[in-house]
Copies of this chain bind each other. A is one copy, B any other.
């Protein structure tokens, strides 16, 4: 525990990147999208939309563009016509799994309904 706390403050520059990271994954719906994408391989837009049904297509499209711009998601166009567009987490994106599953474990410990 002590060493984990130390990590959070070790360097003056730590907070800039950490602060970016926490607000990046915590941006409205981004955490939910990442959880869905961490389940597996490439996904079509419609499959992501179906897995996060409360999110509008417009907002999902905005979030996917942000995640792509950040290097967390890769967009691939394949096949002939109609082109098959798929999204997949990059290595950077998949590397969020430990942090997000710790957060999910915390949520189960503390936020679950009795």
Contacts and interface: CB of A to CB of B under 8 A. Distances in A.
A61 interface: no
Number of copies: 2
B102 A98 contact: yes
B106 A99 contact: yes
Chain A contact surface mostly? helix
Q: Bin chain A's interface residue count.
A: 35 or more
A48 interface: no
A18 B35 contact: yes
Interface string A18-49: 11111111111011100110111000000000
Contacts of A96: 106
7 shortest interchain CB distances as A-B pairs: A26-B26, A22-B31, A99-B102, A21-B107, A17-B107, A99-B103, A17-B111
